[in-house]
Amino acid sequence: MDLKQLNAFIAIADLKSFSAAAEITGLSQPSLSRQLKQLETDMDVILVDRYHRPLQLTEAGQFFYDKVSAVLTELNTITSMTQRLSAPSTALNIGFVPSVLYGHLPEIIASLKQQSPDIEVNLKDISSYQQVEALKSGEIDIGFGRFAHQDAWIQQILLRHERYLVALPKAHPLAHTKEQRLIDLANNRLILYHQTHLPMSTTATTLKTRKNGTLDNEPVTEPLLHLFAQYGITPLMTTEVSDLQVALGLVAAGEGITLVPASLKTVRTEQISYQRLIHENVTSPIYLHTLKDFVHPKIPNLLTAIYHVYERRGITYRQQKFVSKL
């Protein structure tokens, strides 16, 4: 068994067609089919049912595919990390979720550049979950996101918890009420904008829903609904939109209310009123993610720049230990 055969098998399994797999791998169809046949002979197992169109994996083939594709992904990660170890990129590639750009990211980058004037920084807007794959593939060296990850390759540092504010249209009866309570907001249309939901395993909060005549306890994975559900509240009406900017656009148009991290409080202030919530634990975390085994040499400087900005701005944070194997 060799890598060529495994890659041929994965391409055939992914594309369910010899001709499409030949095109993607750059092999001829007879050569691709020979690789698969040799793999099956070596293993003494039929992996692909060739009599179905589109092609299907046998039960054993499906098992082998699930396990082997995970191993090949790991192998790609290891290869890319080894290449980076031998020749680290001079540029620092930073992935971030859009909401942190409204906060201190620009000031942090400015502080980093002041410390290290020669540094080249590339910024890439990328969702929290996609940051994990982007770190592994080398597309980014560091990611700032708002969700915790459980991944054997990734180390994360919790930078701080940022409070949520309620965003209300300026003409809303509660627009000037300081210190709002979630229960008082429940009758409004809540605009939801998160594309990434909480993993089921971290959401102990459940809501009763009726399915086929029976009551079910369903985990609440949408982040804003999860905040309400923690207080036993279900908003009366919701609207889902594609991102934070659209959500704030709808609030500005008087279509509903939403909750946003405090750093968004300068957006559309002519039409939107931002008010604090009394609940201290209604917060959104900011995490820094890197690979465990390969830390870009400039990342410790970046962490120093972050803490420097926090101190200058009087932001409460807990300094975290950073494991750098370099």
With CA atoms as reference, report the closest residue to 108 among 313, 279, 326.
313
- Nearest residue to ligand BEZ by CB is 103
> In whole angstroms, how close is the CB of 80 to ligand BEZ at the nearest point?
24
Among residues 100, 132, 134, 165, which is the contact residue for ligand BEZ, using CB under 6 A?
100
Asked if residue 113 binds ligand BEZ (CB under 6 A), the reply is no
Looking at the Cβ atoms of 104 and 136, the one nearer to ligand BEZ is 104
Question: Per CB under 6 A, does 159 bind ligand BEZ?
Answer: yes
Spatial separation of the C-alpha atoms in residues 143 and 271, rounded to whole Å: 32
**Residue 260 in the binding site for ligand BEZ (CB under 6 A):** no
Nearer to ligand BEZ, 247 or 306 (CB): 306
Decide: 96 and 289 in contact? Cβ < 8 Å. no
Residue 88 C-beta-side C-alpha neighbours within 13 Å: 14
Q: Which stretch binds ligand BEZ (CB under 6 A): 104-112, 116-124, 180-188, 276-284?
A: 104-112
Q: Does 224 bind ligand BEZ (CB under 6 A)?
A: no
Burial class (CB in 10 A: 0-12, 13-18, 19+), 303: buried
Residue 103 in the binding site for ligand BEZ (CB under 6 A): yes
- Look at phi and psi of residue 114 and say left if phi exceeds 0, alpha if psi is from -120 to 50, else beta: alpha
Q: 4: closest CA among 27, 23, 15, 18? A: 27
- Listed in sequence order, the residues at least 6 apart from 162 whose beta carbon sits closer than 8 Å to its beta carbon are 103, 261, 262, 263, 283, 284, 285, 286
CB neighbourhood size of 252 (10 A): 17
Tokens read off for 143 = 């990611």
CB closer to ligand BEZ out of 9 and 287: 287
- Interface with ligand BEZ, residue 264, by CB under 6 A: no
Using CB under 6 A as the binding rule, whether residue 267 contacts ligand BEZ is answered as: no
Q: Does 105 bind ligand BEZ (CB under 6 A)?
A: yes
CA distance linking residue 154 with residue 294, whole number of Å: 10
State yes or no: residue 104 binds ligand BEZ (CB under 6 A).
Answer: yes
Does residue 143 bind ligand BEZ (CB under 6 A)?
A: no
How many residues touch ligand BEZ (CB under 6 A)? 11
Binding of ligand BEZ by 4 (CB under 6 A): no
Note the Cα 199 to chain centre separation in Å.
11
Nearer to ligand BEZ, 138 or 143 (CB): 143
Among the listed ranges 42-50, 102-110, 148-156, 182-190, the one in contact with ligand BEZ (CB under 6 A) is 102-110
Q: Applying CB under 6 A, which residues contact ligand BEZ?
A: 100, 103-105, 108, 144, 159-160, 263, 286, 306
